[in-house]
C-alpha cells in the first residue's frame, strides 16, 4: 500500500492516497492558491461574491476545490483522473460541502464544454501541465497500487510536449466563453512555456493581466497570473 501524502492550506488538511495518480499539491499549487486567497480576502471584488459560481479546472487532490467551496456557493471541479474525483468527493462529504460542488470526471476541455452554459462562472482557475519532454522525468511507480494507471495520470498532470502553451491557450479560449462579463481567471504558467510577452498574448485571447507573481525553482520560473476577461 502506497503511503499517504499530507497537504495543508489555510486550515484545510488532506491526506492524499499514494499510487492513484493524484497530483499532490506542489509549489505551483500553493503559488496559485496564495493568489486566490489574496483576491478572496480583498472581498473578491469585480462582480464576484459568495453566491457566485466558480470553476476549478484540473482539480487534482482538491485543495483549491475545498478552498473555493469554503467561500463560494457553487463550484464545478473537473479532473481527468477518476481516483482524484472520488478522493475529493469523500473530502467534501466529510466536511458537509458536497452540495456546493459538482465534480466532473473527463478530459479537461471536453468536460468544460459539457459543464455549463455560456456565461456561467465569475471565476476560474487552472494549474496546467507544463513540463516539456527534455525536462520531464517519469514518476516513481514502485509503490503504486496500479503502476500503469498511476503513471498515466501523473503524466497527464505534469507533462506537455510544448511546455503547456496549447492546453493553456485552449483553456483560456474555452473559459472566456463560460465566464461572466468581467470574469476573473487565475492560472499558472512556466517560463518553459515559451510566451515572451504575456500581456500581449493574454490580450490576444481577450484577457487583461492585473496581477502576476513568480518563484524561481531549478531550471524555470513558475508564474501565477490573475486576468480579467
Q: What is the pLDDT of residues 176-199, one digit of tens each?
A: 989 999 999 999 998 877 787 889
Q: Is the dihedral of CA 154, 156, 158, 159 positive or negative?
A: positive
pLDDT interval class at 60 (50, 70, 90) = very high
pLDDT at 90 over 90: yes
| Percent of the chain whose predicted confidence (pLDDT) is above 70 | 84
Say what the pTM is.
0.88
More confident residue, 41 or 153: 41
What pLDDT score was predicted for residue 12? 97
Facing residues of 190 across strands? 222
Per-residue pLDDT averaged across 8-13, rounded? 96
Please report, for residues 28, 80, 105, 157, the alpha-carbon distance to residue 177 in angstroms, rounded to integers and kept in the order given.
Answer: 26, 21, 20, 24
Q: Is the dihedral of CA 184, 75, 66, 154 positive or negative?
A: negative
- Residue 104 belongs to a domain with what CATH number? 3.40.50.150
Per-residue pLDDT averaged across 43-67, rounded? 89
Angstrom distance (rounded) from CA 74 to CA 86 = 19
pLDDT digits (tens, 9 = 90+) for 134-192: 554 544 434 445 555 667 777 777 767 777 788 888 889 988 989 999 999 999 998 87
Q: How many domains does the chain have?
A: 1
Dihedral, 107, 21, 121, 44 alpha carbons, nearest 10: -160
What pLDDT score was predicted for residue 141? 38
Angstrom distance (rounded) from CA 100 to CA 40 = 17
> What range does the domain containing 75 cover?
4-228
CB distance 151 to 144 below 8 Å: yes
Per-residue pLDDT averaged across 31-53, rounded? 88
Name the average pLDDT for the chain.
85
Angstrom distance (rounded) from CA 172 to CA 202 = 9
Please report, for residues 1, 47, 80, 119, 174, the alpha-carbon distance to residue 222 in angstroms, rounded to integers and kept in the order given.
Answer: 32, 28, 23, 29, 23
Residue among 4, 18, 23, 59 nearest 147 (CA): 18
Amino acid at each position: 500500500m502506497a503511503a499517504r501524502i499530507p497537504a495543508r492550506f489555510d486550515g484545510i488538511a488532506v491526506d492524499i492516497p499514494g499510487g492513484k495518480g493524484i497530483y499532490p499539491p506542489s509549489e505551483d499549487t500553493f503559488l496559485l492558491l496564495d493568489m486566490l486567497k489574496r483576491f478572496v480576502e480583498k472581498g473578491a471584488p469585480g462582480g464576484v461574491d459568495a453566491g457566485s459560481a466558480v470553476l476549478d479546472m484540473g482539480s487534482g487532490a482538491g485543495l483549491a476545490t475545498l478552498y473555493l467551496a469554503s467561500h463560494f456557493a457553487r463550484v464545478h471541479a473537473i479532473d481527468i483522473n477518476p481516483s482524484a474525483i472520488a478522493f475529493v468527493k469523500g473530502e467534501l462529504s466529510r466536511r458537509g460541502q458536497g452540495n456546493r460542488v459538482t465534480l466532473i470526471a473527463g478530459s479537461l476541455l471536453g468536460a468544460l464544454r459539457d459543464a455549463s452554459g455560456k456565461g456561467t462562472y465569475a471565476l476560474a482557475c487552472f494549474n496546467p501541465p507544463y513540463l516539456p519532454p527534455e525536462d520531464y522525468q517519469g514518476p516513481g511507480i514502485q509503490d503504486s497500487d496500479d503502476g500503469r494507471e498511476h503513471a498515466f495520470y501523473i503524466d497527464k498532470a505534469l507533462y506537455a510536449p510544448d511546455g503547456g502553451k496549447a492546453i493553456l491557450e485552449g483553456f483560456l479560449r474555452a473559459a472566456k466563453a463560460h465566464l461572466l462579463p468581467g470574469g476573473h481567471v487565475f492560472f499558472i504558467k512556466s517560463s518553459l512555456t515559451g510566451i515572451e510577452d504575456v500581456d500581449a498574448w493574454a490580450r490576444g485571447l481577450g484577457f487583461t493581466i492585473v496581477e502576476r507573481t513568480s518563484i524561481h525553482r531549478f531550471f524555470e520560473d513558475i508564474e501565477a497570473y490573475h486576468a480579467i476577461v
